């Protein structure tokens, strides 16, 4: 422990007093009091300057000087400075070690990590994986604008818009298009962004294998099911009256399986598509078809109203849109008890145009809404099965709307009913054209309808 500063001061002042007293005594002996005192005081001042210089040397020197030994204020100041320099050096060393460790960790990451200047999108730093995944070279690409550097990738616009909340999924790597990347922008300071690119080729491959598997299995099941269905239709319950209930149940189940296979095939087809055809979808005939289907499924149990308040047609795929709308209509019929009301309304909205299917049915508890469009997600599995549901209807609706850059809005209250609204942007709508609407209605006839 170093002595308290006050003891150093006392010693220094004591020493100064002793020197001055000694000088006074010497001056009295020599009969030259003032000259001796002045010379001594000058000596003391010079000594202080010399100690000050030593301190300055310590502060400016790049070498690590040993601490002063001995007592006195100057030595104490020197030791304190030495200690604070030591502390600073140690802190600096720890910081450098930490920085090195962080850099080594970032460099060792299997994902490409690029530090970007936020405004110019120029590269500040990147790790080793960035060479293999993004084709960046050190040092040539330091300070290069990343959007231009990775030009074959459609990321310049993404970077410029700074849409860090939305990752870019499944983009080909500029090094090898077979490598699929998922990219994410993370703002981590006022000036800097972090771009993280991950190799998702294996994941994409597995996803493709899964899709192919589901599509193939569904396809393979279709033919035997058609045969079973056909033979069941040929059997007449009147021939064996005691078998009639069994036959009826077998028919119902084979119909449900056929519907499940059809829905799985529809989903597989939708998943395989990036875009849809942009034909004119005649909404007059679409609404007429939806009314016919609703009436056929309801068999007179519900009051069905159809209103066309928009008087517009849509751009998109008639087949897919019909598939989505008819799923909503089938659900409305299925989940609304007899005597309920179902309204299908096509109307303009502030942000575009919307088709809504409203019912006065069972409704959906709010806690189920966030997951309701997931495959096989049902509020009540038994009710859905009993009513012929496959659990895929809303997943199909979601996919179709995504392909049309549209969204699904759901409002529902248990015991009062639900409103499912498909909202399309204004550029998906266009003024009605008789000829085109006719073409739309032709395709509508081909699309599949689920059974209630």
* Contacts with ligand ADP, residue ranges (CB under 6 A): 327, 331-332, 335, 359, 361-364, 372, 378-380, 384, 389-395, 418
Shortest CB 395 distance to ligand ADP, Å: 6
**Minimum distance between the CB of residue 344 and ligand ADP, rounded to whole angstroms?**
12
Closest distance between ligand ADP and the C-beta of residue 371, in Å? 9
Residue 139: cis peptide before it, omega within 30 degrees of 0: yes
CB closer to ligand ADP, 321 vs 392:
392
Long-range interactions of 286-291: CB distance < 8 A, separation 24+:
286/318, 286/321, 286/322, 286/325, 286/440, 286/441, 286/444, 287/344, 287/346, 288/441, 289/322, 289/326, 289/441, 289/444, 289/445, 290/322, 290/325, 290/326, 290/329, 290/344, 291/344
Say if residue 49 is exposed, middle or buried (CB neighbours under 10 Å; 0-12, 13-18, 19+): exposed
Query: Is the Cβ of residue 72 or residue 388 nearer to ligand ADP in the bound state?
Result: 388
**Sign of the alpha-carbon torsion through 138, 143, 147, 148:** negative
What tokens does 29 get? 């002996």
Least distance CB 434 / ligand ADP (angstroms): 33
For the bound state, the minimum distance from the C-beta of residue 389 to ligand ADP, rounded and expressed in Å, comes to 3
Q: Provide the minimum distance between the beta carbon of 333 and ligand ADP in the complex, in angstroms, as a whole number.
A: 9
Our CB check for ligand ADP shows the closer of 288 and 419 to be 419
Min separation Cβ 361 and ligand ADP, Å: 5
DSSP string, 253-312: HHHHHHHHHHHHHHHHHHHH-S----EEE-HHHHHHHHHHHHHHHHTTSSEEEEEE-S-E
In the complex, least distance from residue 340 CB atom to ligand ADP, rounded to whole angstroms: 10
Query: How far apart, in whole angstroms, are the C-alpha atoms of residue 293 and residue 140?
Result: 64
C-beta closer to ligand ADP: residue 43 or 365: 365
What's phi and psi for 360, nearest 5 deg?
Answer: -110, 40
Would strands 341-349 and 303-308 be described as parallel, antiparallel, or unpaired?
parallel
Q: Which of 130, 113, 122 is nearest to 173 (CA)?
A: 130
CB of 273 to ligand ADP, least distance (A): 19
Angle at alpha carbon of residue 291, lines to 287 and 296, rounded to 5°: 150
CB-nearer residue toward ligand ADP: 232 or 419: 419
Residue nearest to ligand ADP (CB): 393
Q: Which is nearer to ligand ADP, 192 or 410 (CB)?
A: 410
Q: Which is nearer to ligand ADP, 133 or 379 (CB)?
A: 379
- Give the separation between CA 345 and CA 294, rounded to whole angstroms: 13
Q: CB 114 → ligand ADP: shortest distance, Å? A: 41
CA 166-168-174 angle, 5° bins: 155
For residue 337, give Cα distances in angstroms to 23, 333, 359: 117, 8, 10
CA 280, 284, 287, 289 dihedral sign is negative
* φ, ψ of residue 252 in degrees (nearest 5): -60, -45
| Nearest CB to ligand ADP, comparing residues 262 and 313 | 262
Instruction: Specify the residue, 75 or 390, whose C-beta has the smaller distance to ligand ADP.
Output: 390
Q: Which is nearer to ligand ADP, 378 or 404 (CB)?
A: 378
């Amino acid at each position: 422990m170093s002595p308290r500063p006050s003891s150093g001061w006392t010693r220094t002042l004591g020493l100064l007093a002793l020197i001055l007293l000694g000088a006074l005594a010497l001056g009295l002996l020599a009969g030259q009091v003032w000259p001796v005192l002045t010379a001594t005081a000058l000596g003391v001042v010079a000594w202080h300057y010399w100690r000050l210089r030593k301190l300055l040397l310590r502060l400016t020197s790049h070498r690590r000087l040993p601490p002063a030994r001995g007592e006195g204020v100057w030595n104490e100041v020197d030791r304190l400075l030495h200690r604070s320099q030591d502390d600073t050096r140690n802190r600096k060393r720890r910081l450098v070690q930490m920085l090195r460790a962080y850099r080594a960790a970032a460099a060792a990451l299997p994902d490409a990590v690029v530090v970007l200047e936020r405004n110019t999108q120029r590269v500040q730093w990147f790790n080793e994986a960035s060479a293999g995944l993004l084709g960046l070279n050190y040092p040539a690409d330091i300070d290069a604008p990343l959007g231009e550097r990775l030009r074959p990738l459609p990321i310049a616009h993404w970077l410029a818009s700074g849409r860090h909340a939305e990752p870019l999924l499944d983009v080909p790597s500029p090094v090898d298009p077979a490598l699929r990347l998922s990219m994410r922008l993370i703002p981590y300071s006022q000036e800097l962004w972090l771009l993280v690119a991950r190799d998702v080729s294996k994941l994409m491959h597995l996803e493709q294998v899964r899709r192919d598997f589901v599509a193939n299995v569904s396809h393979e099941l279709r033919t035997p099911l058609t045969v079973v269905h056909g033979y069941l239709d040929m059997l007449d319950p009147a021939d064996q009256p005691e078998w009639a209930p069994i036959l009826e149940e077998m028919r119902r189940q084979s119909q449900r399986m056929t519907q499940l296979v059809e829905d799985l095939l529809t989903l597989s087809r939708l998943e395989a598509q990036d875009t849809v055809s942009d034909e004119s979808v005649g909404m007059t005939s679409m609404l007429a078809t939806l009314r016919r289907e609703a009436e056929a499924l309801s068999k007179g149990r519900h009051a069905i109203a159809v209103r066309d308040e928009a008087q517009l047609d849509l751009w998109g795929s008639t087949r897919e849109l019909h598939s989505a709308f008819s799923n909503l209509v089938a659900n409305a019929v299925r989940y609304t008890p007899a005597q309920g009301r179902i309204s299908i309304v096509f109307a303009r909205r502030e942000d575009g145009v919307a088709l809504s299917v409203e019912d006065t049915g069972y409704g959906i508890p709010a806690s189920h809404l966030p997951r309701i469009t997931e495959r096989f997600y049902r509020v009540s599995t038994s009710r859905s099965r009993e009513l012929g549901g496959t659990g895929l209807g809303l997943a199909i609706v979601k996919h179709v709307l995504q392909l049309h850059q549209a969204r699904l809005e759901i409002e529902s209250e248990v015991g009062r009913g639900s409103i499912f609204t498909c909202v399309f942007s204004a550029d998906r709508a266009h003024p009605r054209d008789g000829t085109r609407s006719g073409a739309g209605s032709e395709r509508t006839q081909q699309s599949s309808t689920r059974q209630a």
